[in-house]
Structure 1
Amino acid sequence: MHYIALFFLLALSPLLTAQSAPDHLLRYDQPARYFEESLVLGNGRLGASVFGGTGTDTIYLNDLTLWSGEPVDSSYFPDVAGNLPAIRAALAREDYRAADSLNRILQGPFSASYAPLGTLMLDFDTPNDITDYRRELDLSNATARVSYQSGGTELTREYFVSHPDKVIAIRLSSDRPGTINTTLRFGSLLRYQTEVSDGDLHVNGYAPYHAEPSYRGDLPDAVRFDPERGTRFTSLFRVKHTDGQVTATDTTLELSGVSEAVILVSIATSFSGFDKDPAREGLDNRALAAAALDAASKKDYAALREAHVIDYRSFYDRLHLDLGATSAPDLPTDARLQRYATGEEDKALEELYFNFGRYLLISSSRTPGVPANLQGLWNPHLRPPWSSNYTININAEENYWLIGPGNLSDLHTPLLEFIGNVAQTGARTARNYYGTGGWAAAHNSDIWALSNPVGDFGTGDPNWANWNFGGVWLATHLWEQYLYMQDADYLRDEAYPLLKGAVQFGLDWVVQDTAGHWITSPSTSPEAKYITPDGYVGSTLYGATADLAMLRELFANFLAASGALNIADPFTTRVRETHDNLHPYRVGRQGNLQEWYYDWEDQDPQHRHQTHLFGLHPGHHISPQLTPELANAARTTLDIKGDETTGWSKGWRINLWARLRDGDRAYRMYRTLLRYVPPVGARHGGTYPNLLDAHPPFQIDGNFGGAAAVIELLMQSSADTIHLLPALPAAWPSGSVTGMGARGGFVVDLEWENSRPARATITARANGSTTVIFGDDQRPVTLKAGEQTVLEF
């Protein structure tokens, strides 16, 4: 072992066994009955959801690369762009009913679905006299643990998913020799076969080549399998034991009289890229799984765990949050949530939720080209809610809001590479569906980088199926990555060409209105509907505020990137002229920011989407300082919408209130985001017992959006400013945070007392300048890479 690694391990070793603090520990006094109570583990590709049962321990297994479907078929790109003039003509004569109908022509197939790999079940010969049960997930080392007394014996199980060794490891132990009797078996909703070879249980199977979205209901042949099509998977199970014996059948491994055993699970799929047929051009999943299992088996359990913890903590330990002392009692996590829902104080729970968001991101975003999906990594359903896909009208992007401020920008790579994949299919979408250059993407995508507007060729409602600015929104992440990391090579070689392609689509998509301003036509506002003065409830219009907000942000990003790269040419001139003449924002008669080109009524004034506020967040061109009138209109819009909404929408609204510098309103919504939601029968957004976001049902974006919002309350940054405590809630008068990422290429540590900064430490990733601001106090800072400065307030 390298001396540096050994030194780190020795420093770390007391923390491997010590009791974790309540802001890093989920714990429960009973096994999980539902997925929404399970403990989720992951290494960025492999996922395990642990129930911790005493008679049968159920462990759902996932692989982030196991999806239904196949690469995008070019024949699904009909040349329908010729219909676009008719839609624009209908809008020009204000015939919105005809525009909605014609817009349906510009629809293609639905996305593929993220698939559940299967379930590992451990059946225990356990008496019924269970006492002292404890189930926990320690976020500080990404390890779950179950312990209980049975018949005078203490039985313990420990679980983790290793990124360096590519296996799931489960350690079974007992304080009395020879008392572990367990049968290991496997089941799956997919097609599979099992066999035993050399004492290992082998499972080989394949995913469906087609799965209908669950929201389409009970359709015939909704899930279709073909042994010659679809992604292959292999799951291997090996038991290493100290004593006793392991007996194999065709479908099980049976442990008897064992004192300690380690179960290693190796999983691989044939997925080899978004454009490769996984059945004909796929990776050798059998060989990959076998190689990982054999390599991991050469290490003992302690070495596997040490490597796992060191790797994981290289991410997790970058940031530490302390919101001050708490008087909350030490309770199981579900009881803490229920107590908190009554209005009681629990700063440790608020910190725990934030840390859980970081944990989930580390655990689900480490696979090249395959970002965290709607459920992150953890899905038990063959037809999961909303296909567990990449919904890119907010949800996939919200998954990554924590990346920069959470000091995890290297985990942005799966999304950034995915954007590059979507740009390739999106170039065909732009050409065939819209007759434009550049690249475009619509409402949904999947592992195959689907980019066409979905809706099954006309059956989808245009208010969601025909929104086509997913690529424009995704492209803003490219510039954000540069702002945080200041990597000029990345900007020039990777980000800029993709930015330019998205900008090209935007330029080709806009038309001029009667006032000479550039607008989008046709246009929709994601999942929202308007009511015209004559009572028509519709979706298709021209110049929706959301589209124009995203174009403003994208064009500004591109111009800033061009400046950073010293690029000035006729194309940048055209971008600037178009940017400066986009149709302006309008304030409606209620004082709200208009969502529609005209001051129309909303079909649902409290709709969960608020995409027309994009310029406030995640964009940066609306703010109380820069545009006070528009910021006030955004505030009125949020007042009209209210605080009761779905989980991911709450996460977004907390960020919006933070940008409006209203920390107490944001905090009030943060508390409702943490509102306890039971695992079944929920009708409102909040948090399930295992801290996963209750949309409902489970969607992970609320976790990520809520965690990102905590930093927005404590620090906000731009390319050249860092605002300290811009929206500090009264509930957090004193505290500290270390390791926040700031735009401009800085890392910020902050201590505050009596609701004011006490000390800030600014460290530079690269040579750069910024201005640190608190109220009227402005401190210019210029640093070279690696330098830091301490500011006292």
Structure 2
Amino acid sequence: MPPEHLLAYDAPAARWLEALPLGNGRLGAMVFGGSQADADVEHRFQLNDSSAWSGSPHSQDREPVFSREEADRILTESRRLIGAGDFAGAAGTLKSLQHRHSQAYLPFADLYLTASATAANPAAGERGDGGAPGQPSSGYHRGLDLARALNTNTYLLDGHAVRVEAFISHDPSVLVVSLRTDAPQGLDLAIRLDSPLRILRRSGGEGSLSLQLKMPSDAAPAHDGGVVEYSEDDSLSMQGAVAATWEHDGRPVQGPAGPVSGHDDGLAATGVRRADIYLTTETTFAGLARQPRGTAATAAAAARAVVDQARASGRKLLLDRHGESHSRLYGAALVEFDVPVREGGDTGRRLLAANAHPGGPLAADPGLAALLFNYGRYLLISSSRSAPAGSRQGTAWRGVPANLQGIWNAELPAPWSSNYTTNINLQMNYWGAEPTGLAECVGPLFALIEAMQGTGAEVAREYYGARGWAVHHNSDLWAYAKPVGHGAHSPEWAYWPMAGLWLVRHLWEHLQFGSTDSSADADTFAPDTFDPDSFARSTAWPAIRGAAEFALDLLVDFPDGSLGTSPSTSPENTFAAAHPSTGTRVQGSAARSATMDLTLIGDVFRMLDALAGRLGLEDDPVASAARSALPRLPAPAPGRGGKLREWLDDPEEWEPGHRHVSHLYLAYPGDTPLTPGLEAAVRASLDGRGDEATGWSLAWKILLRARLRQAGKVSDLLRLYFRDMETPRGGQSGGLYPNLFGAHPPFQIDGNLGYVAALAECLVQSHRTVDGLHEIELLPALPSELPAGRAGRLRARPGVDVDLDWRDGLLVQATLAARKPVKVLVRYGPGVREAHLEPGKPAVLTYSAHRSAPRSAPTDRIG
């Protein structure tokens, strides 16, 4: 397997950020590799279940609850203070509108597999081939094959080869761990389970283990004290279980023995040369925003049934099915760069060596760009998949979206609760899905948006007296929708009711890309199953219409006849203002009409109008009202220093280098046509913000620079993105940890997933339209570090697969294929061609050695 599909290390993981991830969208594991202590080698598999969260739907109903009069009073007073220029007073007033906090994603359990030389082995107790504590031998290897989603760990134990492999099957949902050794006498093996959650019962015997677990009723984020609470009221939290079984060719050891002494109900065997372990998790989760059903006992029974089924199927059959299921998604798109063939080596050292190059990481090792692209797609596949049709989970729920850490978390409470942060991070997780063949992975996000329409409708009524639905800055498994903060935090992040308007753009993009059915599974998936009109009517229309309803009721009439929002925040950013009484410089967080508010509202109104026309609903009252309101929204405009205004009144920036660039949403992920003036303002804003940023912010900036066709700035940002986090730096500087997880810091997966979208956007763009035709632009922002390569099956709007081949920084050939008849414009540099695409008849475009001269005239028609 080429190194751009492999993560490889020559030592066990000493910490979580060195462990390697496995996942199937429901069950996740961080694999540490065998670590030697004395004569034993211990393998740790830290486990997560995507449905394991604290709390319940009741969490949103906890105090404080606001009456309509009270909420109106707070909003009216904050609006009055903003009008009077008392921004500090407005912020203080808005704090009193805050609820509590979203719930937290939980660590679930740990599986420990311990191996040691059997007592019958004459060499027992001796270390062969240079073994030392923490590393079984000098021949140690652990790695993750991204293309196969297979973790492998090999080493010598007392001079004999040991191989431990692990994968997580999608159907059935099980972790499968296998151990093989050539030791003639076999090994002593032991397995045990543990959990950081409250353990209600341990069970074991006859080759099986299980834990019954109780989850917290509440888990506050660290910035609100980090208190974790359990309740005796079972309606306030979930329960769950983890179950494992094994088969081996050794002899069982009765009772706790050897490595499992002190742990009830562990399993042990001696003389083992072959062993297979099957493990799964189960919770009482019954669906997003739904009250849990069942008990830990029923969860344990369900988990045992799954592992028994898996054991009956056997490792080989499960591995074959796993390979087919994973490769169908992983192989849906590819990016390769022409680089010298690399020998295998430690990925962590590879990253360090690349960063030591004076020209930057990708100048030294351009293959890293492909590796991170493949890894990001692997992470999304692993952390966001719908349950297979016909499975128990498939009848109850359609999957859980990737959270701040995907599906992997070992901390309680996790950083920022590992929740759904909806002012950028949740959305960024899915930016790369549509253009890189992973539209199926967006299904769980659509399920959350559907659930939010219910919880968000309650919040819209309670807080704003509005129709439609509203979601604020944080959410969770229960589709929490209220403003967070406990009355103590700045509105710059605690007050932002616009999340729903941003989230529905994913429904719109799904239609724009002509994507395949997001609910399809491995057995029924077919590219032609997606019915866009059905999706538009049943899924996109109600969500977008509800978001537009809320926006219409949120808008405020201003004296000049325009519409806007007040109070209005621009996610997590602040501005400088003069105190109205003292004239001293104060920090403000809420003003009127943040540019992002107006852009989102305008976006949703245009989407609704287009859908109404498509579905024959032009006379719908909400669509009509949105159509009338649209011209009254102020257009984005340059302000101070030529930068795009972040608020309508263009206050002075408090932190010019702030990591958020929310006011630039119109350029990405929005598709506002950029006039020369607007483009210059976006460029000036990015220049003013600077390049240094957190991991996810670097990804967003790369996307924005790509939209501006600034390949040189893309290179500058990639140099920062590929930094190694082992080199100490101050502040919030992004980079990559040893296992290539992206750093905020700490770890947030949006940086990894945002990079996938960023690289795809450098290669293909399709957001622009000319006279109603989509323009597909090829290599609009190719960084100089990647002068030669190829891309396969990148997806462009309106449902076109694009293959590219380039040399010396110049396009050589492009192939476009569509599943339905479509006419598009194809741009490369100044040349534009019109292509008529028919199913089964790909169009092949060839180019000369000069970027500005296609081999035929720019007005060529193809097809």
Instruction: Report the CA distance between 1:24 and its aligned residue.
Output: 0.1
77-86 vs 703-712, which deviates more? 77-86
Q: How does 1:11-90 map to 2 (within 5 A)?
A: 20-54=1-35, 55-72=41-58, 73-74=60-61, 76=63, 77-79=65-67, 80-83=70-73, 84-90=75-81
Q: Show the 5 A alignment for 1:122-161.
A: 122-125=113-116, 127-128=126-127, 129=131, 130-161=137-168
CA distance in structure 2 between the partners assigned to 1:688 and 1:61 by the alignment: 20
Determine the structure 2 residue equivalent to 1:268.
Answer: 282
State the TM-score, normalized to the length of structure 2: 0.86
Q: Shift of residue 767 of structure 1?
A: 3.3
The correspondence of residues 387-786 of structure 1 with structure 2, limited to 5 A, is 387-456=417-486, 458-485=487-514, 487-533=532-578, 534=583, 535-569=585-619, 570-623=621-674, 627-678=675-726, 683=731, 684-718=733-767, 720-786=774-840
Report which stretch shifted further, 79-88 or 646-655.
79-88
Q: Secondary structure at the match of 2:91?
A: helix
Once the two structures are superposed, residues 506-532 of structure 1 have per-residue CA deviations (whole angstroms, 9 ceiling, x without a partner) of 111111223322111110011111111
- SS of the aligned residue for 1:349 comes to helix
| 1:485 partner SS | coil
Distance 2:296 2:78 in 1: 42
Q: Structure 1 residues 319, 275: CA separation in 2 closer, same or farther (over 3 Å shift)? A: closer
CA shift digits 1:524-558 (9 cap, x unpaired): 01111111144121111111112112122222222
Q: Distance in 2 between matches of 1:305 and 1:464?
A: 45
Asked if the contact 2:220/2:228 (under 8 Å) is kept, the reply is yes
Deviation at 1:585, TM superposition (A): 1.7
CA contact (8 A) 2:211 2:300 kept: no
Measured against aligned partners, the alpha-carbon deviations of 1:178-220 in whole angstroms (never above 9, x if no partner) come to 32222212221101121114320111111101111122246xx
Distance of 1:262 and 1:557 partners within structure 2: 52
Amino acid at match of 1:736: R
Q: Is the 8 A contact 1:215 1:385 kept in 2?
A: no
Q: Which has the higher mean CA deviation after the structures are superposed, 769-778 or 142-151?
A: 769-778
Aligned match for 2:414, one of 384, 388, 392:
384
The 3 A distance-change label for structure 1 pair 681 and 613 is closer
Equivalent position SS for 1:23: helix
Aligned to 1:355: 374
Distance 1:681 1:203, change over 3 A: farther
Could you tell me how far 1:636 is from its partner in structure 2?
Answer: 1.3
Residues 330, 240 of structure 1: alpha-carbon distance in 2 compared, 3 angstrom cutoff? closer
Q: Which of the residues 300, 321, 326 maps onto 1:286?
A: 300
Q: Contact 1:24 / 1:140 at 8 angstroms: preserved in 2?
A: yes
* 2:313 counterpart SS class: coil
Kindly indicate whether the alpha-carbon contact (under 8 Å) linking 2:545 and 2:622 is maintained by their aligned counterparts in 1.
no
Task: Provide TM-score, normalisation by structure 1.
Answer: 0.94
Deviates more, 1:183-192 or 1:283-292: 283-292
Q: Is the CA contact (8 Å cut-off) linking 1:196 and 1:248 kept in structure 2? A: no
Change (3 A) 1:557 1:293: same
Report the counterpart of residue 521 of structure 2 in structure 1.
Answer: none
What amino acid sits opposite 1:390 in the alignment? Y
Match of 2:856 in 1: none
Q: Which amino acid aligns with 1:169?
A: V
Q: In 2, distance between residues paired with 1:246 and 1:503?
A: 65
> Which amino acid is the alignment partner of residue 209 of structure 1?
S
* Aligned amino acid, residue 22 of structure 1: P
Q: In structure 2, what residue type is equivalent to 1:105? A: S
Deviation at 1:125, TM superposition (A): 1.9
Q: How far apart in 1 are the matches of 2:728 and 2:205?
A: 41
Q: Distance in 1 between matches of 2:491 and 2:557?
A: 23
Distance (whole Å) between structure 2 residues aligned to residue 199 and residue 765 of structure 1: 51
* Cα distance in 2 for residues equivalent to 1:262 and 1:679: 39
The question of whether the paired residues in 2 share the 8 Å contact of 1:714 and 1:724 is answered with yes
Flag structure 2 segments of 5+ consecutive residues without an equivalent: 36-40, 118-125, 132-136, 257-263, 387-397, 516-531, 848-863
- The one-letter amino acid of 2:106's match is A
Greater shift after overlay, 236-245 or 29-38?
Answer: 236-245
Question: Matched residue of 1:480: which SS?
Answer: helix
Q: How far apart in 1 are the matches of 2:607 and 2:765?
A: 18
Select 1:204's aligned residue among 201, 212, 215.
Answer: 212
Determine the C-alpha separation between the residues in 2 that align with 1:680 and 1:285: 44
Aligned residue number for residue 103 of structure 1? 94
Aligned mates of 1:230, 1:680 — CA distance in 2: 40
- Distance (Å, rounded) in 1 between the aligned partners of 2:608 and 2:318: 45
Cα distance in 1 for partners of 2:651, 2:741 equals 37
| Equivalent runs, 1:231-242 vs 2, <5 Å | 231-242=238-249
Kindly provide the CA deviation profile for residues 749-779 of structure 1, in whole angstroms up to 9, marking residues without a partner as x: 1112232322222121333222111122222
Separation in 2, partners of 1:402, 1:311: 20
Shift of 1:637: 1.2
CA displacement at 1:122 relative to structure 2? 1.8
5 Å-filtered alignment, 1:292-311, equals: 292-311=306-325
Mark the CA change 1:679 to 1:557 in structure 2 (over 3 Å): closer, same or farther. farther
1:701, CA displacement in angstroms? Answer: 0.2
Cross-structure match for 1:14: none
Q: How many residues align?
A: 768
Counterpart in 2 of 1:8?
none
CA RMSD of aligned residues (A): 2.0
Q: Which moved more, 1:678-687 or 1:367-376?
A: 678-687
Q: Deviations over 1:259-305 (max 9, x none)?
A: 01001112111100233332669994223212211211112221111
Tell me the CA shift for residue 591 of structure 1. 1.5
Q: CA deviation at 1:325?
A: 2.1
User: What's 1:277 paired with?
Assistant: 291
- Counterpart in 1 of 2:179? 172
Contact 1:682 1:696 in 2 (8 A): no
After TM superposition, the structure 1 = structure 2 runs for residues 210-249 of structure 1, keeping only pairs within 5 Å, are 210-217=218-225, 221-226=227-232, 228=234, 229-249=236-256
- 2: CA distance between counterparts of 1:95 and 1:769? 54
1:4 is aligned to: none
- 1:319, 1:737 within 8 Å by CA — same for their partners in 2? yes
Contact 1:245 1:258 in 2 (8 A): no
> Structure 1 residues 198 and 245, CA, compared in 2 at 3 Å: closer, same or farther?
closer
Moved more, 155-164 or 265-274: 265-274
Q: 2:31, 2:407 → 1: CA distance?
A: 14
Note closer, same or farther for the CA distance 1:47–1:630 as it changes in structure 2 (3 Å cut). Answer: same
Cα distance in 2, alignment partners of residues 786 and 372 from structure 1: 35
> Is the 2:247–2:277 Cα contact (8 Å) retained in structure 1?
yes
Report SS of the residue matched to 2:640.
coil
Out of 521-530 and 292-301, give the one that drifted further: 292-301
On the 8 A contact 1:179/1:258 being kept in 2, the answer is yes
Q: Say whether the 8 Å CA contact 1:591–1:633 is kept in structure 2.
A: yes
- C-alpha change, 1:75 and 1:227, in structure 2 (3 Å) is closer
Residue 125 and residue 285 in structure 1: after superposition, are their counterparts in 2 closer, same or farther (change >3 A)?
A: same
Cα distance in structure 2, aligned partners of 1:567 and 1:217: 50
What code does the residue aligned with 2:46 have? Answer: Y
Q: Which amino acid aligns with 1:579?
A: L
Give ranges in structure 1 of 5+ residues lacking alignment.
Answer: 1-19
- What does the per-residue CA deviation read over 1:374-405, in whole Å, with 9 as the maximum and x for residues that have no partner? 00000001100000000000000000001111
Aligned to 1:17: none
Q: Secondary structure at the match of 1:256?
A: strand
